[in-house]
């Protein structure tokens, strides 16, 4: 993190109307933003939040939706858009400032595991960071201007909460699959050789997001649930060339199932008081 990051977080958090104390937040991935349509949540455009970057990708709306106990970010920031890692993870710090304890990260991903099919929802059990960077390179923001304390060297052995996964299992209509997510920078999709490499490393899914936010959530002591929507088979696994419009299109088709799963988890957590 760069010096001054704490000020940026405070400034952004101060722009969120008081009265919203979300305990669980959802970050929606490419093509999955439609989930917030017609919800009746209070909406704040990212343009109204100082220090929040503005999404540049088709399929990302750029609104923060708030209700009593929940926050939903329709639109996220990717490293490939040219944003710094500070920008990519700033919203997670802001959500933590608002009181968020559980973070649900969703994404569109390419399926590497041949047991997966386009349209599958897969719970992330672990990740492989192939971004070549880490949001915590640089001064440790711990304690700066009252930001939550996090250790310089923090444990990553259980990033994706078993408890939240168990809740997701119990809420899902179709039993979800599980897998390891590898993050590449993009924006080009992978070559078949890269996909073979990721497969040999133990990855089941590949995408261009989620890992920086998951690392940050871990640093901040949040519980993380990661849900990938398999929008296509990764290069060389499927037979067709990859196309962003197709990725967004498949995301739209599974939106109903994902919405049902997310709201199932949210209501279960509300019943449990966020714990």
**Measured at CB, which residue is nearest to ligand HPA?**
110
Shortest distance, position 173 Cβ to ligand HPA, whole Å: 23
Residue 204 binds ligand HPA (CB under 6 A):
no
Judge whether 170 counts as a catalytic residue: no
Q: Which residues, numbered 160-189, are part of the site for ligand HPA (CB under 6 A)? A: 189
Question: Which residue, 133 or 272, is less far from ligand HPA as judged by CB?
Answer: 133
Task: Choose, by CB under 6 A, the member of 232, 255, 261, 266 that binds ligand HPA.
Answer: 232
Active site residue 161: no
Annotated catalytic residue within 43, 80, 140, 142: 80
Q: Closest approach of Cβ 189 to ligand HPA, in Å?
A: 5
Q: How many residues bind ligand HPA (CB under 6 A)?
A: 13
Of 32-40, 48-56, 130-138, 226-234, the window that binds ligand HPA (rule: CB under 6 A) is 226-234
Which residues have a Cβ under 8 Å from the Cβ of 166 and sit 6 or more positions away?
A: none
Which one of the listed residues 1, 71, 73, 108 is annotated catalytic?
108
Nearer to ligand HPA, 91 or 110 (CB): 110
User: Of residues 23, 51, 81, 97, which has the active-site annotation?
Assistant: 81
Site residues for ligand HPA per CB under 6 A: 108-110, 189-190, 206-208, 231-232, 234, 242, 247
Q: Which residues are catalytic?
A: 30, 60, 78, 80-81, 108, 208-209, 232, 244
């Amino acid at each position: 993190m760069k010096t001054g990051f704490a000020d940026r977080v405070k400034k952004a958090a101060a722009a969120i109307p008081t009265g919203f104390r979300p305990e669980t937040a959802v970050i929606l991935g490419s093509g999955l933003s439609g989930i917030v349509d017609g919800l009746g949540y209070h909406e704040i455009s990212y343009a109204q939040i100082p220090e929040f970057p503005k999404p540049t990708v088709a399929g990302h709306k750029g609104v923060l939706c708030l209700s009593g106990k929940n926050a939903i970010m329709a639109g996220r920031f990717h490293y490939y858009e040219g944003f710094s890692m500070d920008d990519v993870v700033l919203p997670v710090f802001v959500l933590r400032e608002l009181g968020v304890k559980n973070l649900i990260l969703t994404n569109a991903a390419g399926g590497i595991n041949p047991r997966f099919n386009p349209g599958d929802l897969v719970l992330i059990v672990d990740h492989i960071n192939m971004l070549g960077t880490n949001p915590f390179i640089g001064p440790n923001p711990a304690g700066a201007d009252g930001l939550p304390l996090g250790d310089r060297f923090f444990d990553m052995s259980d990033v994706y909460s078993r408890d939240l996964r168990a809740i997701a299992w119990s809420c899902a209509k179709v039993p979800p699959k599980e897998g390891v997510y590898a993050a590449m920078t993009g924006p080009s999709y992978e070559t078949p050789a890269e996909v073979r490499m990721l497969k040999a490393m133990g990855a089941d899914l590949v995408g261009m997001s989620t890992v920086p936010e998951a690392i940050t959530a871990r640093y901040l002591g949040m519980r993380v649930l990661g849900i990938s929507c398999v929008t296509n088979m990764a290069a060389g696994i499927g037979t067709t060339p990859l196309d962003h419009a197709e990725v967004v299109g498949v995301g739209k088709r599974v939106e109903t199932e994902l919405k049902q799963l997310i709201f199932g988890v949210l209501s279960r957590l509300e019943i449990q008081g966020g714990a």
